[in-house]
């Protein structure tokens, strides 16, 4: 199901974090290279590490260890690597900055009366501090992190949970994201999705995804939606 009668009738908007609201790639990648260095392994390019982002830290660590999007590293190696990664990322996470026009876009959505939430696969212990340090926490009535529910994106559960929280029909909940997992979650839930092109879609252009529109940044969203 796709939505192409613009402006879309929307009551609430949920927005992805990494690659949509915040440019977290530099800190995620630096933590991965510090982990590799601590383990006596060769560093990996920032661009390659950026392509590994989007399915949570466990997959980022697995991909950094194997150099492959889908391979499983030796379990003992992974168990050794993960706490090293988490230590470095905890030190770096709150340095992440919003992308251009994020705050302007959020201000416009809020001023127009839309209710706002954030849905991310990042676990809560990182999500809450980085939203606060970036000055974005106050915009959101609900934050659904990667460990808030039994399932995370691309499963539809976070979107269905958010629609229930806001008390809105799922087709009037808009997801703004940057990746395949966002698109799959929205289509599985039955809600519209609009993507930004600057995020972390494993190196693939978002125009190839099953989305309703692509906007240059969050400040370009308002003409495509109307409040119902």
Catalytic annotation, residues: 16
Which letter does DSSP use for residue 14 in this model?
E
Whether 138 and 106 have beta carbons less than 8 Å apart is answered as no
Enumerate residues 6+ apart whose C-beta is below 8 A from 66.
72, 73
Whether 53 and 62 have beta carbons less than 8 Å apart is answered as no
Q: What is the DSSP string of 49-88?
A: HHHT-SS-HHHHHHHHHHSSSSPPPPHHHHHHHHHHHHHH
Whether 10 and 227 have beta carbons less than 8 Å apart is answered as yes
């Amino acid at each position: 199901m796709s939505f192409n009668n613009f402006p879309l009738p929307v009551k609430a908007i949920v927005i992805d974090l990494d690659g949509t609201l915040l440019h977290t790639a530099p800190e995620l990648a630096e933590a991965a290279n510090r982990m590799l260095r601590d383990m006596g392994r060769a560093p990996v390019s920032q661009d390659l590490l950026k392509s590994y982002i989007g399915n949570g830290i466990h997959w980022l660590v697995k991909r950094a260890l194997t150099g492959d999007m889908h391979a499983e590293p030796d379990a003992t190696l992974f168990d050794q690597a993960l706490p090293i990664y988490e230590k470095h990322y905890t030190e770096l996470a709150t340095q992440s900055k919003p992308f251009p026009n994020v705050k302007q876009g959020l201000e416009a959505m809020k001023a127009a009366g839309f209710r706002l939430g954030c849905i991310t696969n990042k676990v809560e212990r990182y999500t809450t501090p980085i939203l606060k340090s970036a000055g974005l926490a106050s915009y959101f009535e609900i934050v659904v992190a990667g460990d808030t529910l039994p399932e995370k994106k691309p499963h539809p559960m976070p979107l269905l949970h958010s629609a229930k929280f806001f008390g809105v029909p799922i087709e009037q909940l808009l997801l703004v994201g940057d990746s395949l997992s966002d698109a799959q979650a929205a289509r599985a839930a039955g809600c519209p999705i609009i993507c930004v092109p600057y995020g972390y879609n494993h190196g693939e252009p978002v125009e190839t995804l099953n989305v309703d529109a692509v906007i240059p940044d969050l400040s370009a969203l308002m003409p495509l939606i109307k409040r119902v």
